[in-house]
Structure 1
Amino acid sequence: MAPTVLAGGTVVTVDADRRVLDPGAVLVADDTIVAVGPRDDIVADNPDADRIDLDDHVLLPGLVDSHGHAGHSLTKGLVDGRGDDWLDLVKRIYFHGSGTDFWAAESRLAALERLRAGVTTSLSYVGSMPRADDPKFAAAAATGYREFGLRHVVAVGPPDGLPVEATDPDTGTETTIDLDRAMATTEAVVDDLDGAAGGRIRVAVAPSSLVPEMDDDGQATDASVEQIRAVADLAEREGLPIHAHAYVGEVAAAADVDADILSERLSLAHCAGISSEEVALMAENGVAASTGPLTHAYAWDRFPVTEAMEQGVTVAVSTDGSAPDRSFDLLSQGRIAAQLQRSYHGDTSLLPAGRVLESMTVDAAAALGMADEVGSLAAGTRADVIAVDRRSAKLGPDLGADGAVPRVVNYADGGDVSFVMADGVVRLRDGEVVAPDAPGLETILDDAADAAQTALDRVDADDALDPHPDLWGSVRYGEGEEGTE
């Protein structure tokens, strides 16, 4: 194949020198970026290359969503997305109502949404916490990412609350998931998926919680110690990243069990409520954090984002998935993350636009152990490139390259992404999806609706779609009950 020149427009490289080129261009050969530089130079040096004109666009590295959940795209909005009610319902759906058709249909819808939002690399747990009774569910959950040609990390490992009961509606089989079963399933998923689709599909050893149980003194229980050691052993043996949710006390408790688990191999989601001492442990050991500004975890307890950054922790902004009340639009969540920090500290100088963009590109790639591959536009990295159309009322007027980064970070969202190249293949052009191996939109939507309804029927939860009596006119859900107390 002839090389391709992506001719900008402004090119925001997020490379080591943080170059912003206007006009700039990106030269791609096969699945790799060969050169990034001034447009006239790149074009003149490559007269035989194919050319894609993106003159009215801002070119960026493909966005990296470092934490999310498979299953969300078929469970968003259920029970109005009400916190614990939603979590209880989706646990029933994921562990008892979801067959392989559910996970395949969900993955196609999720991958399509991420593609359209400019997310070319992502991570998702198979469920709200990993479904680890059979490796076929993880394989099905990777389907859409394979078909749309995106880079994806399948996160699987022990769920919380072991032992956990699961039902396979495909066969009627009922399984009790204990630690041995969860780890065996995780190993099978590694064998099946890690490195699949030309290396685009990866696997992370991903327990639901870093330390699932602690005693009254904040120490890991014996069961948690066993899990921590099993997870660390598998990740070390297979050379895999570790990903987990973590909340107050868990970083310190894990360090007491096995200090070596705190390493650059580990990334932690939420980190809500963790102490300054735990932030210091993360910084000292290269542990990355992934914060979702719209997550319920952040509403319950704050992760000290700016303080962690100042101490040297790699902090990525992520979506946490597309449910119960959010989306895969990572661009829009970046500025929400910044505004939350500014509001908390009463300081509007916090988190410059470039730092926010780093948290969704190069820093998020580093959190997943992929900083040498994705997250920046530089020679030798994978050809994951997106382009934001700046010819709109929202992003106008165009006042030159100096304002490109603040303009994109402060105003753009996924709907402004009109071009996506993933692994050197154009997947979105002029706003139209280019994915011959994937079903069309109508088929994806119809299959998703059928799979979601089937799952609800299996767990007898048709009322999950009923409007809540406090939907209108109330300040909070449950206001009627509280008013009688």
Structure 2
Amino acid sequence: MARTVLVGGTVVTVDADRRVLDPGAVAVDGDAIVAVGPREQVLAEHPDADRIDLADHVLLPGLVDSHGHAGHSLTKNLADGAGDDWLDLVKEIYFEATGTPFWRAEGRLAALERLRAGVTTSLSYVGSMPRVDDPRFAAAAATGYREFGLRHVVAVGPPDGLPVDCADPEAGTETTVDLDRAMATTGAVVDDLHGNADGRIQVAVAPSSLVPEMDEAGNATEASVDQLRRVTEFAEREDLAIHAHAYEGEIAAADAADPEVLTERLSLAHCAGIDSEEVALMAENGVAASHGPLTHAYAWDRFPVVEAMEQGVTVAVSTDGSAPDRSFDLLSQGRIAAQLQRAHHGDTSLLPAGRVLEAMTVDAAAALGLGDEVGSLTPGKRADVVAIDRRSAKLGPHLDTGQTVPRLVNYADGGDVSFVMADGAVRLRDGAVVAPEAPTVEAVLDDAAAAAGTALDRVDAADALEPHPDLWGAVRYGE
């Protein structure tokens, strides 16, 4: 018997039958969903359960953000996020000016933002590319997700440009990271974090790039082949997911160098510039894609989203983090993803609302290898449920159940999320955080401001907070 019944208005299950129940209810026992069905039926089957009244809401699975970066929440909009200036600055901050207080403060702020946006499962690299000189940084970055009770995948693996120099100002140490050090730290993070918080904290083996170096002919260099093989062998031995950025030519180069890496275990972020042959390789081998519509990578070169979906590639919509010029509001980015494809193809029929919602729930969960646990409101899965308050001018009027999913995808955003349950525990109620182990919102914000200011001081970059000289009147930055 269920301990709790979420008494809905409309319940969007995203289950195998894509049921939309109006009115519906979700019964929860412990950390699992035990029943989803018409409201009166579920209430009759579980008469003694505690009831949470969400009758004026739409219930749906917790959203899944399948690609992002820790660190971003403390580097938002620096240098106006203009071109390479921002990326060069944050690399310096992440690798030369941060210790565990920075990563802990940033992770708490990121977890809080994701919670408020209805994102109950997420993935983040520790840095713009993995910082793997010491496993303490990954542990610190995961702290907020554990405290707020969310599900989180820590992405850790070899960074690009090995060897990479790192400094820890708190400890007064400097470290040069080579492939051996990167893999050793990855192993230490797995030992320390994987399966923590009742399984909510997991680790993915995540090199920054699938193929970090290629020669003029587009073949993986010897160092890249060595990295590919070691990453693949480690992930298979530890039974872990693999996640990486990938751009034009990298999938083909990986296939030629070590085809064993191209499996359902692998998900790739961005995939900007890949051609039809690389899309086919993804489809044939079950490799998933995580598409960030607002990323700089997509501005430089497109990922063929529609073409990949049509060939059977699992495509998730993700945020890529909360900087330099975006947020963790995954709901709002879903409709942007759809509009960009419609504009590119000149076809407004593309990407129906249900497909967009799938890309942020069930397909995103599958991309991370978590499809059996989350992504839909299905008995047996974890009780990750969000509720959107539809009592607003933006989402009204409620006329017909058939309009529920299009209304959500086309109009709702993270600010409309008023209730979040993760792993069967209520974490947001009436828009207020309910997480006894977490610091207060005020403490999170104060610590974040202090940590960000300290990091900027260490790299002597206070000017990055000044308005860009091309803020007003110019057509582009750098004129």
TM range (shorter): over 0.9
User: Match of 1:464?
Assistant: 464
Distance in 2 separating the partners of 1:478 and 1:225: 38
Distance in 1 separating the partners of 2:34 and 2:459: 52
Q: Which amino acid aligns with 2:309?
A: M
Q: What is the deviation of 1:478?
A: 1.1
Q: What is the deviation of 1:466?
A: 1.3
Specify the SS of the correspondent of 1:307: helix
User: Match of 1:103?
Assistant: 103
The answer to whether 1:69 aligns with 2:73 is: no
User: Match of 2:239?
Assistant: 239
Q: Which amino acid aligns with 1:27?
A: A
The answer to whether 1:35 aligns with 2:21 is: no
User: Match of 2:419?
Assistant: 419
Distance in 1 separating the partners of 2:430 and 2:468: 40
Distance in 1 separating the partners of 2:237 and 2:253: 23
1:232-277 CA distances to partner (integer Å, 9 max, x unpaired)?
0110100000000000000000001111100000000000000100
Distance in 1 separating the partners of 2:56 and 2:401: 12
Alignment of 1:35-184 (within 5 A): 35-184=35-184
Distance in 2 separating the partners of 1:193 and 1:170: 22
1:38-83 CA distances to partner (integer Å, 9 max, x unpaired)?
0000001111000001111110000000000000000011000112
1:42 to 1:2, Cα distance in 2 relative to 1, 3 A: closer
Specify the SS of the correspondent of 2:369: coil
1:275-323 CA distances to partner (integer Å, 9 max, x unpaired)?
1000000000000000000000000000000000000000000000000
Q: What is the deviation of 1:400?
A: 2.2
Say whether the 8 Å CA contact 2:63–2:360 is kept in structure 1.
yes
Specify the SS of the correspondent of 1:324: coil
Distance in 1 separating the partners of 2:345 and 2:59: 32
Q: Which amino acid aligns with 1:121?
A: T
Q: How many residues align?
A: 479
Distance in 2 separating the partners of 1:74 and 1:467: 17
Q: Which amino acid aligns with 2:64?
A: V
Q: What is the deviation of 1:231?
A: 0.4
Specify the SS of the correspondent of 1:308: helix
Q: What is the deviation of 1:2?
A: 6.2
Q: What is the deviation of 1:376?
A: 0.1
User: Match of 2:323?
Assistant: 323
The answer to whether 1:336 aligns with 2:336 is: yes
The answer to whether 1:215 aligns with 2:236 is: no
Distance in 2 separating the partners of 1:83 and 1:12: 39
Moved over 3 A (4+): none
User: Match of 2:385?
Assistant: 385
1:347-402 CA distances to partner (integer Å, 9 max, x unpaired)?
00000000000000000000000001000001000000000100100000001211
User: Match of 1:190?
Assistant: 190
Distance in 2 separating the partners of 1:354 and 1:59: 15
1:385-440 CA distances to partner (integer Å, 9 max, x unpaired)?
00010010000000121110000000000000000000000000111110111111
User: Match of 1:308?
Assistant: 308
Q: Which amino acid aligns with 1:357?
A: L
Distance in 1 separating the partners of 2:180 and 2:27: 48
User: Match of 1:482?
Assistant: none
Distance in 1 separating the partners of 2:476 and 2:258: 43
Specify the SS of the correspondent of 2:319: coil
Distance in 2 separating the partners of 1:49 and 1:443: 35
User: Match of 1:483?
Assistant: none
1:180-219 CA distances to partner (integer Å, 9 max, x unpaired)?
0000000000000000010000000000000000000000
User: Match of 1:225?
Assistant: 225
User: Match of 1:200?
Assistant: 200
User: Match of 1:366?
Assistant: 366
Distance in 2 separating the partners of 1:446 and 1:432: 18
Specify the SS of the correspondent of 1:128: coil
Q: Which amino acid aligns with 2:285?
A: N
Q: Which amino acid aligns with 1:272?
A: A
User: Match of 2:297?
Assistant: 297
Distance in 2 separating the partners of 1:426 and 1:135: 30
Specify the SS of the correspondent of 1:187: helix
Q: Name the TM-score, length of structure 1 as normaliser.
A: 0.98
RMSD, aligned CA: 0.7
Distance in 1 separating the partners of 2:476 and 2:82: 10
Distance in 2 separating the partners of 1:399 and 1:321: 35
Q: Which amino acid aligns with 1:394?
A: K
Q: Which amino acid aligns with 2:298?
A: Y
Distance in 2 separating the partners of 1:155 and 1:73: 16
Distance in 1 separating the partners of 2:232 and 2:148: 32
Say whether the 8 Å CA contact 2:4–2:29 is kept in structure 1.
yes
User: Match of 1:473?
Assistant: 473
Q: Which amino acid aligns with 1:354?
A: G
Distance in 1 separating the partners of 2:187 and 2:155: 12
